[in-house]
Amino acid sequence: MWCQRMRVLLGAWLTLVGVAAYAQEYPVRPVRIIVPFSAGGPADIHARFIGQRLQEALGQTFIIDNRPGAGSIIGTEAVAKSPPDGYTLLMMSNTHTVNESLIPNRPYQLMRDFVPVAPVNYSDLVLVVHPSVPANNLAELLKLAKAKPKGLNYASSGNGTPYHMAGELFKAMAGVDIVHVPYKGSAGARTDTLSGQVQMMFDAVPTMTDHVRSGKVKAFGTTGEKRSAVLPDVPTVSEAGVPGYEAVIWLGVMAPRNTPREVVQRLNAEISAITSRADVREAWAKQGVSAMTMTSEEFARFMTDDIAKWDRIVKISGAKPDQ
């Protein structure tokens, strides 16, 4: 009996030593970060930013693999089915926390099939309108929308994305009926908004600011609690006519469940070191982006709260996956 206990204890000790050694050596080959969104959007841009700096810090290649489609489900499912060894990661956003209630029949559950690694950043959105729309501010836009139900369209990067849910929340809180036009990515939605094919869009401040400044679109409101430092002359949607309105886009990194805890902790430490750097925070701030830094446990609690928040909003707005 004593010998059997010793063998069990020795086996457990060797396992712990092996896992610790694995984490210490990690990574020994290229790491793939799957981005379940199209190229050119915030998730893609910041996945490449983080991947490059992880590559510099850890001495291994970090490959960015864009796999958009089905409201982020295609790329996310690929990560869920990957070996839990730290060599396939997911660049995710609050699209994923929305989808937990918006799209119930997914082939995975976020908090069951993944482990939160680290948050990256968040940014406000901005409601932009094509110059052809006969409105010069949010109050006039609301008046126009109420006078012509379903007469205005808004573009998004796809069902369940922050752009879509910002629009649905806006509709519910403002009491207007505007038509959602989903695209397969933010680039197509942005292009058609700029050309006037679609009349308006909620887009990330960093990707739309130059177009606002050049006059290609009119900015009627940013979606944070306070005005954006990048667009200080643009009121928030809340102060411009929809009191209490708030919506942002945030990004983070997850890994398949059962990824070794030591690997998750190392990745968290490395990503947190990047998002804590003064030069990174300063550069992002100039773009209207705010860094986020949490432990993996704190990030898990943050995500659980966000899932509950969007569950309430999906119910209030009446949003459906095919809208």
Give the pLDDT confidence of 58-109 residue by residue, as tens digits: 999 999 999 998 889 999 999 999 999 999 999 999 999 999 999 988 999 9
pTM for the full model? 0.85
pLDDT at 256: 98
How far CA 147 is from CA of 173, 176, 219, in Å, comes to 17, 9, 21
Q: Is 124-240 the same fold as 28-122+249-317?
A: yes
Average pLDDT (100-123) is 95
What DSSP letter does each residue of 175-230 carry, written as one string?
A: T---EEEE-SSHHHHHHHHHHTSSSEEEEEHHHHHHHHHHTSSEEEEE-SSS--SS
CB 318 within 8 A of CB 177: no
Cis peptide before 134 (omega within 30 of 0): no
**Poorest-pLDDT segment among 119-133, 139-153, 178-192, 269-283:** 178-192
Domain ranges of the chain: 28-122+249-317, 124-240
The CATH architecture that domain 124-240 belongs to is 3-Layer(aba) Sandwich (3.40)
Cα(165)–Cα(103) distance, rounded to whole angstroms? Answer: 13
Q: What pLDDT digit, counting tens, does each position of 154-186 carry?
A: 999 888 889 999 999 999 999 999 999 999 888
Q: What is the mean pLDDT of the chain?
A: 92
DSSP-derived letter for residue 71 is G
Give the tokens for residue 104.
């119930």
- Tell me the pLDDT band of 238, cut-offs 50, 70 and 90: very high
Q: What is the pLDDT of residue 67?
A: 95
- C-alpha to C-alpha distance for 292 and 71, rounded to whole angstroms: 24
Half-sphere exposure of 275 (CA within 13 A, CB side): 24
Query: Which comes out higher in pLDDT, residue 11 or 194?
Result: 194
Q: Above pLDDT 90, what percent of the chain?
A: 82
Share of the chain above pLDDT 70, in %: 92
CA dihedral sign, ordered 15, 20, 23, 25: negative
Please tell me the distance from the alpha carbon of residue 115 to that of residue 68, in angstroms, as a whole number.
21
User: pLDDT value at position 106?
Assistant: 92
Write down the pLDDT at residue 1.
Answer: 52
pLDDT tens for 25-67 read 999 999 999 999 989 889 999 999 999 999 999 999 999 999 9
Which superfamily does 28-122+249-317 belong to? Bordetella uptake gene, domain 1 (3.40.190.150)
Q: What is the pLDDT of residue 16?
A: 45
Please name which of 103, 95, 38 lies closest in space to residue 254, comparing C-alpha atoms: 95
Q: What is the pLDDT of residue 12?
A: 47
